[in-house]
Amino acid sequence: MNRPTTGPDPWRSPVVVMQIPDTGLHRELEASAAERQAMAAAAGLRDVLSAHAGFDVVPKSGGRVQVTGHVRARVGQTCVVTLDPIESEIDEDIDLTFAPEAEVRRLADLIEEGEDNEQPPQVADPPEAIVNGIIDLGRIATDALFLAIDPYPRKPGVVFEPEITALGPEDHPFAALKALQDNRQGKKKDK
């Protein structure tokens, strides 16, 4: 997932993979005021008014972990047309598979080999890596929120209409040629 910033994660909620029960676990997250402020700064937003996420984390075979859930947020932005402050709703579903780093590297190598042989890769969407035995639900929620932000927000009903000015006859690109032609014709008649 791409992130707008490379600094520290503004919203953290790490889950240790070895501590996930066989039946899985459910987590509800609510970003604090400081976390929301850090998210706004990282994403270049006016404000993050609220951010909530709910996740189900279920272990799968081969050390994989399935993370499904939902992220909801309300963000403050600036209308690109009127420059007025506006608020936007974010409502995103999440469904990710995580795998041990070694498996993710192996799959990435297989995909690269497939590209070299001009054959389609067997894995369409490789899993995310489990880094140091931890899956950070806060980072997942933040990434989903950042990816869902409208980069060109507009107030409802506002449409960008470029200013169109009609050219007068004297401002037409060929007006100078017409004036020369008229001038020539006028001189011919005078003779």
Q: Taking the domains of the chain in order of start, what are their residue ranges?
A: 14-148
Residues 43-56: tens digit of each pLDDT: 999 999 999 999 99
State the pLDDT at residue 186: 66
State the pLDDT at residue 1: 40
- Average confidence score pLDDT of the chain: 84
Name the most confidently modeled range: 3-17, 28-42, 161-175: 28-42
State the pLDDT at residue 4: 45
Model pTM?
Answer: 0.72
| Number of neighbouring beta carbons within 10 Å of residue 116 | 8
More confidently predicted of 170 and 95: 95
Quick one: pLDDT band at residue 17, thresholds 50, 70, 90?
Answer: very high
State the pLDDT at residue 183: 73
Specify burial of residue 135 (Cβ count, 10 A radius: 0-12, 13-18, 19+): buried
User: Which residue do the tokens 């009609």 mark?
Assistant: 166
Quick one: pLDDT band at residue 62, thresholds 50, 70, 90?
Answer: confident
Average pLDDT, stretch 88-106?
91
State the pLDDT at residue 189: 63
Rounded to whole angstroms, the maximal C-alpha distance in the chain is: 106
CA 110 – CA 108 distance, rounded (Å) = 5
Where are the strands (E) in the chain, listed by range? 14-16, 25-30, 47-59, 65-78, 85-100, 128-130, 134-136
